[in-house]
Amino acid sequence: MMGRQVVLSLAAALLLTSATAAHDLFFRAPRYRLTPGSEAVVDVLNGTFSRSDNAVTRDRLASFSLVSPSGRAELELARWSEAEPKSQARVAFGGPGTHVLGAAIKPRLLSLPGAEFNAYLKEEGLDDVLARRASQKRLNEPSKERYSKYVKAILQVGDTATDTYAVALGHAAEIVLGGNPARLKTGSRVHVRCLVDGKPWAGKSVFAGGRRGTTDRRLPQQRLVTDADGRAVVEITGAGVWYVKFVAMVERDQPDANYESKWATLSFGVE
């Protein structure tokens, strides 16, 4: 009986570690097709694509912008709420076309015990970082990680689909979609390009998934690997709200950080 209790306790600890390690940042709009001249309140989910664990305060924003067919505009910080448990971005749209909402979150430091850090690496597909820790016999070494986050959403205003969807915002980590979501349907295939500091993030894991329709029924998550140009192909398996995400991590030899990570997400709607 005691052995079974120990196993259950370990399983619970692993689940807790997994839950605390996963802390993505997403834009999730109530709808991704809007009418010209309308305003939308976009949720900022700091946790998973279903829930937010806490709000992101305005002082952490390095940039907050909207790209429309007429160009890029920085948004007022007053349009970013700080109410718990989630921030919200209040965005006003003008004329028709495809729009891209983006934000960059300033770096912060995070320390984790070795076991928790290893579980987080495994969950985020950072197998190369985990393998290097193992080969160097450093699995018990705690992490001192400097992390920053970069979030985008593509929204369609009116019926005119424009090539604005493919804009690169110049974020330190970024996902660029290879097709306009307004033209995607169930069964479509669309490539994404993953960039870190403007260069292809090659041979790395990227994840895609989402929710069906307006429900919280999950679309099966896909784990993909980027090619030499940082590209991977996403299978659109259903209508709904989609996300693509990746975490880029490198080792650092600095007094305050032994790792640096850059988190990128993109969301869009498929009808």
Is 33 part of any domain? Answer: no
Whether 227 maps to a domain, the answer reads: yes
Token reading at 114:
């070795």
Whether residue 212 lies inside any domain: the answer is: yes
Residue 144 lies in a domain: yes
- The domain total for the chain is 1
How far is the CA of 27 from the CAs of 16, 128, 155, 157, 253, in angstroms? 24, 28, 11, 17, 33
In a domain, 19, yes or no: no
Residue 240 pairs in a beta bridge with 212, 270
pLDDT tens for each residue of the chain, 271 residues long = 334 443 333 333 333 333 344 489 999 999 999 999 999 999 999 999 999 999 999 999 999 999 999 999 999 999 999 999 999 999 999 999 999 999 999 999 999 999 999 999 999 999 999 999 999 999 999 999 999 999 999 999 999 999 999 999 999 999 999 999 999 999 999 999 999 999 999 999 999 999 997 667 899 999 999 999 999 999 999 999 999 999 999 999 999 999 999 999 999 999 9
Q: What is the rounded CA–CA span in Å between residue 209 and residue 268? A: 11
The answer to whether residue 1 sits within a structural domain is no
Residue 62, domain member (yes or no): yes
Name the pTM for this structure.
Answer: 0.91
Is position 22 within any domain?
no
